[in-house]
Amino acid sequence: MTMRSFWADLPTEGRWLLSTVAIQTLGRGLTLPFTLIYLHEVRGFDLSLAGVLMALIAIAGLAVTGPAGALTDRVGARAVLLVGMASMILGNALLAFATTPAAAAVALVLVGINFGVSWPAFNALIAAIVQGALRQQYFGVNFALVNLGIGVGGVVGGLYADVSRPSTFTVIFLADAASMLVPAALLLGPLRHLHGRAEAPEDATTNPASYAQILREPAVRRLTIITFVAIFIGYGQFEAGFPGYVRAVAEVSTRSVGLAFAVNTAVIVLLQFTVLTRITGRRRTRVMLAMAAIWAAAWLLLGSTGAVAGTPLATAGVLGFMAVFALGETLLQPTVPAIANDLAADHTRGRYNAINAGAFQLGSITGPAAAGVLLDQGLAGLYVALMVAGCALIAVLTRGLERAIPATANGVPAEPSAGVP
């Protein structure tokens, strides 16, 4: 598989969607690393208050994910996405001029609403457009473009934003709002015929798509727990655990922390398509097992930096951690969404994606909290051990998932029954 063949195989709607990803995430990259700085250093809010305000994004997102999944199935992914984009535009525009905690709180809740509704709706829309093995490849390429946009946006924002000039922060938040106009115009223009909604089959039961029924499926429960644990020990550590550990234990510079995130983005952008080529046709659960092993190695590498704290070796270990961890990300991101959407029926896709998104958000909320408690108590060794144990738990759960899902959801064709030609 080459990038050219992948692009040629995509339906026109898929090309349209993919072509705007880097643009809209570039706007997010402009503000993502600097929102806390803006609230604290520009608007003068206490650091503790700024942290609480930032938590509203994840809390609001988690609160609306369930209803968003149901609405995606009932009214269609396109309509839900447009609501989310409108919320994001309003939230960033309000945040650009927010001078009081109340105004900032409303703005960040609106931003969180967008994140809560966009994941299930966007994944459902992709799954409605792209079928088969191409779907897994799409999720992977989309992930690389998201990282590219956020990475470039972060660099541009870092060069432009200046706490001594508050107007620069107003500009980047308005630019983030404006970036959402591009995908909104796409959904209102060339893709206005898409609705991302499927009717339930005639033989479906009266309430065929309730969350309770979906969560009774062993495969869904296992995948949900895997997602939660993966985010708890993964992205949930990026905001608090990783920076806290490398500053307090590895004793590296803040510049090295920023460089580590740049390394993470670069590895994902450079390797994602190669990884997709290698994993296409392989069992997705085996890919997830490889991811768990890679992440365990990454956390052990980070843990070793404490023994050489404050030295160039510690800095190298921190950068190496982010590079190895990024390799694991390139295995995780194409597989979990593909499994979730292949398990779902067309008319339940929104709810399946909402369950997966909810697990992601819950891990993003609890991960930093756990890291803060452990590191604040000086339990750095226990912190690293917990992360490695989480990788082992993912491996155990993945073996159980492999037994619970059909071969087609696991990325390989179903084997014919005995006696069937």
In a domain, 159, yes or no: yes
Amino acid type, 48: S
Query: How far is the C-alpha of 398 from the C-alpha of 226, rounded, in Å?
Result: 7
Q: Are residue 267 and residue 392 in the same domain, yes or no?
A: yes
Asked if residue 197 is part of any domain, the answer here is no
Residues 6 or more apart whose CB falls under 8 angstroms from that of 219 comprise 343, 401, 404, 405, 409
The confidence score (pLDDT) of residue 193 equals 84
Report whether 62 contacts 358 (CB < 8 A). Answer: yes
Backbone angles phi, psi at 128, to 5 degrees: -75, -25
The string of pLDDT tens digits covering residues 192-214 is 887 766 565 555 554 456 888 88
- Report which of residues 262 and 319 the model is more confident about: 319
Mean pLDDT confidence for 262-290: 90
Task: List the structure tokens of 333.
Answer: 């991101």
CA distance linking residue 135 with residue 345, whole number of Å: 15
Does some domain include residue 377? Answer: yes
Same domain, 156 and 232: no
Burial of 178 (0-12, 13-18, 19+ CB in 10 A): middle
- Is residue 419 one of the residues assigned to a domain? no
Residues 6+ positions from 103 with CB-CB distance below 8 Å: 94, 97
pLDDT at 60 exceeding the cut of 50? yes
Tokens at residue 311, please? Answer: 């030295």
**CATH number for 175:** 1.20.1250.20
Residue 157 has what pLDDT?
84
The predicted pLDDT at position 313 comes to 94
Lowest mean pLDDT among 27-36, 57-66, 382-391: 27-36
Residue 148: predicted pLDDT:
87
- Domain identity same for 245 and 362: yes
Residue 420 lies in a domain: no
Pair 94, 35 in one domain:
yes
* 398 and 348 part of one domain: yes
Q: What is the pLDDT of residue 114?
A: 94
Q: Give the Å distances, CA to CA, from 22 to 18, 91, 140, 352.
A: 8, 20, 13, 26
Asked if residue 403 lies in contact with residue 283, where contact means CB atoms within 8 angstroms, the answer is no
pLDDT over 80 at 263, yes or no = yes
Residues 390/232, Cβ–Cβ less than 8 Å: yes
pLDDT value at residue 421: 34
Asked if 267 and 322 sit in the same domain, the reply is yes
Q: Are residues 357 and 250 in the same domain?
A: yes
- Beta-carbon neighbour count of residue 399 at 10 Å? 14
In order of 150, 213, 242, 378, 379, the CA distances from 247 in angstroms are 23, 45, 9, 13, 14
133 burial (CB, 10 Å; 0-12 / 13-18 / 19+) is middle
Identity of the highest mean pLDDT range in 137-141, 143-147, 156-160, 164-168: 164-168
Residue 17 structure tokens? 């969607």
Tokens describing residue 64: 């609306």
Residue 417 pLDDT more than 80? no
Rounded to 5 degrees, what angle do the CA atoms 222, 228, 233 make? 125
pLDDT of residue 136: 82
In terms of domains, do 183 and 243 share one?
A: no
183/227 same-domain check: no
What pLDDT does residue 200 have?
59
pLDDT value, residue 416 = 45
Interior angle at CA 93, CA 89 and CA 94, nearest 5: 120
User: Higher pLDDT residue, 49 or 230?
Assistant: 230
CA angle at residue 358 from 108 to 215, to 5 degrees? 155
Largest CA distance in the chain: 76
In a domain, 8, yes or no: no
- Name the percent of the chain lying above pLDDT 70: 94
pLDDT in tens, 78-118: 999 999 999 999 999 999 999 999 999 999 999 999 999 99
Asked if residue 142 has pLDDT above 90, the reply is no
Residue type, 267: V
Residues 6+ apart with CB under 8 A from 328: 234, 291, 292, 294, 295, 298
Per-residue pLDDT band for 138 (boundaries 50, 70, 90) equals confident
Q: Domain containing 147: what range?
A: 14-189
Supply the mean pLDDT for the chain: 87
pLDDT digits (tens, 9 = 90+) for 357-396: 899 889 988 888 888 888 888 899 999 999 999 999 999 9
Residues 185 and 216 in one domain: no
Q: Give per-residue pLDDT as tens, 266-278.
A: 999 899 989 988 8
Confidence label for 420 from pLDDT (cuts 50, 70 and 90): very low
Whether this model's pTM surpasses 0.85: no
pLDDT at position 372: 82
235 with 160, same domain: the answer is no
Question: What was the pLDDT predicted at 98?
Answer: 94
Number of domains the chain contains: 2
